[in-house]
A and B are shown apart, each in its own frame.
Chain A
Amino acid sequence: MIRSITQLKPAEEIERLLNGLDRVFIVGCGTCVTLTRTGGAPEVAAMKTQLSEAGKVVTGTTVVPVACDNLTGEILAGIDSQIRQADALLIMTCAYGVQTIARQIKKTVIPALNTLFIGKETGAGHFDEVCKQCGTCIIGETGGICPVTACHKGLVNGPCGGTNNGKCEIDPDKDCAWTAIYNRLKDLGRLDSMRKYQKPRNHLGEPSPGKFRLPAE
């Protein structure tokens, strides 16, 4: 399962973003942010208390099931009166949810969370970024481990000089991708593919912003 991984913005930033917007409606989501405890029912309730204490009028709150689903617009339309009274929507979902709502409701939207990465669940309560959707996938030669994502520098020809006992130079809690790739390829008897020189990466997979249309039948 993949999840959108988020983090609450600093209180000062939320305060600044809500400056002059006194009546606020808060939206949470029942999916990823509920799991990561950044925008589920308890966090929405806590935010309501926090804003009320700061002198805001909270016109209402809701936790939609899946904020990034287009149905969210219809759900919010059902509580239109509370939303209409608000100067802004404070949205405690990932940026996909924030943008889904922004497209459907003519109201100022303020994200309360920072969206960090799309995480793969790697253990109970553990999420890791394993793919950056680069558009030119190269993991067929790296033992199925993505160096573009798992290596802090996105190196494709092996480790940098900062690798330290299997850990990355930026954080002793982060694994060095190239130690992992080496171990995996060694296990598979495929070290030859690590020895192969990889040309500079093709960054032209899908020029940003990505767009996809199902071909007409």
Chain B
Amino acid sequence: MPSVFKKALDSGKFVVTCEAAPTKGTNLDTMKHHIELLKDKVDAMNVTDHQSSVMRYPSLGGAILVKEMGGEPILQMTCRDRNRLALQADLLFAASRGVHNVLCLTGDSVMLGDHKEAKPVFDLDSSQLVAAIRTMERGKDMAGNELDGGVRFCAGAIVTPEANPIEPQLIKFEKKLEAGAEFIQTQAVYDMDNFRKFMEYARQFPVKILAGVILLTSAPMARFMNKNVAGVTVPQSLIDEMASAPKGGALAKGIEIAGRMIRQIKEEKICDGVHIMAIGKEEKVVDIMAAAGL
């Protein structure tokens, strides 16, 4: 049976996903609050996997929580911390607990996080993780041994449409699709002309694409991303627009911009949906969706 999220993707509707960020520790109140708030408003909620290589409550635990609370989880899995045994085992665990959507990522460098001296794993890469999922769906593990009880996942991956140079990124993108990715969440896109160009290319492939939208919270935050986040470019015009917001009104301006972008993506049918990242401000997703007319 296809997952609820997969059905939404296949229905042709404009799909909206957001994130639930696990906390550092066992106090899950904030996360539960966000899940409660958003689970019925979006098509699925991504649970991030030690985002930015900062150790947190596990994404699998968070995904199970989303499921238990009646939401539709997308389990983010990076290749940074687990070798192929651990990744496959966690996929079995996920499947056994009703988590049937997986977003496969390489993962940030351990050096960028809060356990810089840890051993990085990267036994697999994101395309190989997608392929491993497809292998397991055929009833075998990666070593070719039979599985007693199978798995079924809707598997996705990431692309960075603003990477420079773009060609190596596109080659990797195509490999992810060949490996069996059914959906793609993009890194944040702000430059619609550039994203349209990417979509003209991507449309030749039978894959659903959700545009990444990161909520801008202030002009300095936008500048920070330009400087520090690879593959994210906030155009000067948007930075100026953020800077023009009245004192105390930057967040509202960011919500307005995100809403406007989503509305444009939907109205112009640029891609199949959006993935809203409101990093640390998850409760604002509701406002962003309202601003987008969703």
Q: What residues make up the interface of A, taking CB atoms closer than 8 Å to B?
A: 152-166, 169-170, 178-179, 181-182, 186, 191, 194-195, 197-201, 203
Contacts and interface: CB of A to CB of B under 8 A. Distances in A.
For chain B, give the interface size range: 35 or more
B169 A162 contact: no
B108 interface: yes
Interface string B147-188: 000000000001110011101110110110011000000010
Contacts of B169: 158-159, 161, 163
B37 interface: no
Contacts of B159: 161
A160 B187 CA distance: 12
Contact of A161 (B142, B174, B230): B230
B230 A197 contact: no
Given A161-B106, A197-B179, A200-B84, A155 B112 contact: no
What are the 7 A-B residue pairs with the smallest beta carbon separation, nearest first? A158-B172, A164-B230, A182-B168, A160-B106, A153-B122, A162-B230, A161-B160
Contact of A169 (B109, B142, B187): B109
Given A178-B168, A194-B171, A197-B175, A156 B125 contact: yes
Given A152-B109, A153-B109, A169-B108, A158 B131 contact: no
Contacts of B76: none
A157 B172 contact: yes
B123 interface: yes
Contact of B231 (A161, A179, A201): A161
Interface string B107-140: 1110110000000101111111001100000000
Classify the secondary structure of B's interface with A.
mixed
Contact of A166 (B84, B107, B160, B165): B165
A157 B230 contact: no
Contacts of A203: 123
A174 to B, nearest CB: 11
B231 A158 contact: no
16 contacts: A153-B80, A153-B106, A153-B120, A155-B106, A158-B168, A159-B163, A159-B169, A160-B126, A161-B187, A162-B108, A162-B109, A162-B231, A182-B171, A195-B174, A197-B127, A199-B128
Contacts of B167: 182, 186
B100 to A, nearest CB: 23
Contacts of A201: 123
Given A155-B122, A155-B125, 9 more contacts: A155-B106, A160-B125, A160-B126, A161-B160, A161-B231, A163-B168, A163-B169, A200-B84, A200-B132
Contacts of A170: 109, 111-112
Interface in B68-90: 80, 84
Contacts, number: 93
Contacts of A163: 163, 168-169, 230-231
Contacts of B163: 159, 161, 163
Contacts of A197: 127, 131, 175, 178-179
A78 to B, nearest CB: 42
A195 B165 contact: no
Nearest to A147: B125
A158 B160 CA distance: 13
Nearest to A155: B125
Given A163-B163, A197-B175, A179 B168 contact: yes
A98 to B, nearest CB: 23
Contact of B175 (A158, A162, A165): A158
A155 B126 CA distance: 9
Contacts of B123: 200-201, 203
Contacts of B158: 161
B171 A191 contact: yes
A182 B179 contact: no
B108 A157 contact: no
Contacts of A186: 167
Nearest to A176: B168
A179 B167 CA distance: 9
Q: Which of A197, A198, A200 has the most CB of B within 10 A?
A: A200
Contact of A200 (B108, B142, B231): B142
A156 B132 CA distance: 15
A169 B179 contact: no
Contacts of B125: 153, 155-157, 160
